[in-house]
Amino acid sequence: MSTKNGTSGNLYHCAMEKNQNGKYNIRIRVQFERGGWDLSVYFLASSFNAAMKKLEESLQLLQKSEERLRFWGVERTDDPNLAGDLLQESGLWLDRRREFPRKVAEMNVASARPVPASLLAPVRRVLADSVSQERERAYSAAAGD
């Protein structure tokens, strides 16, 4: 799989929204280079900083567990709960929603490699911006603009 900039690897789309209870809903959609399959997961966090910490942990887990997840997601092992259990133990849930927010942070990471910290700073900025824009739209709608 090749991305816009010509690099290959696992392509991550990350989005953040606030739900009605004020929790941060972080969605991750990954397209795995090996085998050409994808996986969508999400988790909830109580603060932006907690969400970013959990996002980093989740990305590392997805990278590290790619083979195990692929075996479950593509090969459909005899134990369909194998990866589901792995994800849930890590606080991740399968995201079955088809639509994905428009404002996303994208990053490309070589298969089976840790996610470099240098890729997380731009992701943090994009997600912070998406949440602040969402908040501005909500205030405008409440004010009747």
Residue 4 lies in a domain: no
Residues 6+ apart with CB under 8 A from 15: 26, 27, 100, 101, 103, 104, 105, 127, 130
Residue 96, domain member (yes or no): yes
pLDDT digits (tens, 9 = 90+) for 41-84: 999 999 999 999 999 999 999 999 888 887 666 655 555 555 66
Q: How much is the pLDDT for 7?
A: 57
The model's pTM = 0.82
Domain membership of residue 5 (yes or no) is: no
In a domain, 1, yes or no: no
Q: Is the pLDDT of residue 1 over 60?
A: no
* Domain ranges, residue 25: 10-143
Residue-wise pLDDT for 94-131, tens only, equals: 898 989 888 899 999 998 889 998 999 999 999 999 98
- Number of domains observed in the structure of the chain: 1
